[in-house]
Amino acid sequence: MYLRGIDFGRVFAASGTLNNFGEGWEPYHSIKKKLSGFDFKGSTFISKTSTIDSRMGKKKGEQGNLILNETTLQPVSLFPDCIKVNWINGEVFNAVGLSNPGFAALLRMGYWQEIMQRFFISYMATRLTKKDRLEEDEEFVRLLLKELPKFKTQVGVQLNISCPNMKGDLMSFIYETSDRLKVLSRLNIPISVKINVLTPIEAVQSIIDGGNCDAIEIPNTLPYGERPDVVNWRKKSILGSPLSDYGGGGYSGRENFLLAADWIDRARRAGIDIPIICGAVFDFKDIDRAYDVGASGVAFARLSIVRPHRVKSIIEYGNYVFRDR
């Protein structure tokens, strides 16, 4: 998939899959690496979503629900209660809340600058007003512009506007995106926008018309309780959702992929022609479906948690199917 003439690949390890710098999540990834299929070669890394303000919550109720070791940025708890997994059905609920030490701290660590393969830095502004979020964008641009000459590869930015763990009206995030993209455009690098399946197609067309949007990725996790016409939430409550404890969160599962594929199909029919990454793929049929509805590439995340042995084959198949896009 070419963005501004740069080939970023066709298969993406979605934001959060490989942590901040591609190092993965310990001790889980060290164990999974013993599986022959747990191999991310051939995919493009997208970093865990970062924020300007630190979200290193120390206890329940503070910003950032996944408590991290301040040195390693790995989870303190072996089984964090802000993440619940249905291993049988391959579903994940999370209310992680964008836990991270802040964008400046991540840049100071110097790991992004040393990555050799093209990748995306995922970023989200989290303050409560548009004015404050634009100030966050200005700070993000200032910090990244200073460091970009040190990067050893070409990099893009993924603007996350749809994390269900954030306070505020996510719809307002959508309709201010064009203004925020103007700020980010000073980076002069590819910018994708990450949305969820609730995002109106006409709103995305408005973002595209405003310029500075090179690609769309869909879906982010589905906010708990939304689209009950498609998702049987009562049946899924057996997961022991973290949402009731943390007051927010999202669902990753089969229905979310189907909603994303349907959204892409409708978007293409409506005339949206920029590259679209279809996330949440779980098997070969999902990749075929994503191709048929007009996606430009695919992304995966929960797959690496609940079916880690499939990672290599999904990447290989995705690259084969999307080889002409």
Q: What's phi and psi for 60, nearest 5 deg?
A: -55, 135
| Tokens coding 239 | 């997961």
Omega cis (within 30) before 228: no
DSSP 163: -
Q: For residue range 130-185, what is the model confidence (pLDDT) as tens digits?
A: 999 999 999 999 999 999 999 999 999 999 998 877 666 667 778 899 999 999 99
pLDDT at 218: 98
176 vs 245, more confident: 176
For 146, the enclosing helix (H) or strand (E) is helix 130-147
Q: What's phi and psi for 3, nearest 5 deg?
A: -125, 115
Nearest 5°: the CA angle 180, 185, 186 is 115
| Cβ neighbours for 5, distance < 8 A, ≥ 6 positions apart | none
Maximum C-alpha span of the chain: 51
| Tokens coding 267 | 């978007």
Confidence of residue 308 (pLDDT cuts 50, 70, 90): very high
β partners of residue 20: none
Helices vs strands, H then E, count in the chain? 13, 14
Ordered DSSP codes for 15-38: TTTTTTTS---TTHHHHHTTSTT-
Tell me the average pLDDT across 103-108.
98
pLDDT at 61: 46
Q: Model pTM?
A: 0.94
Amino acid identity, residue 263?
A: W
Are the beta carbons of 299 and 12 closer than 8 angstroms?
Answer: yes
Are the beta carbons of 272 and 208 closer than 8 angstroms?
Answer: yes
**Whole-number Å distance between alpha carbons of 136 and 262:** 33
- Sequence length of the chain is 325
**Whole-number Å distance between alpha carbons of 261 and 265:** 6
β partners of residue 11: 298
From the options 3.40.50.12140, 3.40.190.10, 3.20.20.70, 3.50.50.60, give the CATH code of 2-47+110-240+254-321: 3.20.20.70
Does the pLDDT at position 247 exceed 90?
no
DSSP 323: T
Are the beta carbons of 159 and 184 closer than 8 angstroms?
Answer: yes
Domain locations along the chain: 2-47+110-240+254-321
Q: For residue range 195-233, what is the model confidence (pLDDT) as tens digits?
A: 999 999 999 999 999 999 999 999 999 998 899 999 998
Does the pLDDT at position 35 exceed 60?
yes
Does the pLDDT at position 15 exceed 50?
yes
For 223, the enclosing helix (H) or strand (E) is strand 222-223
The CA R_g of the chain, rounded to the nearest whole Å, is 18
**Whole-number Å distance between alpha carbons of 325 and 262:** 19
Are the beta carbons of 152 and 113 closer than 8 angstroms?
Answer: yes
For 2, the enclosing helix (H) or strand (E) is strand 2-3
| Cβ neighbours for 227, distance < 8 A, ≥ 6 positions apart | 197, 198, 255, 259
pLDDT mean across residues, the chain: 93
Tell me the average pLDDT across 313-324.
97
State whether residue 299 is helix, strand or coil.
strand
State whether residue 306 is helix, strand or coil.
helix
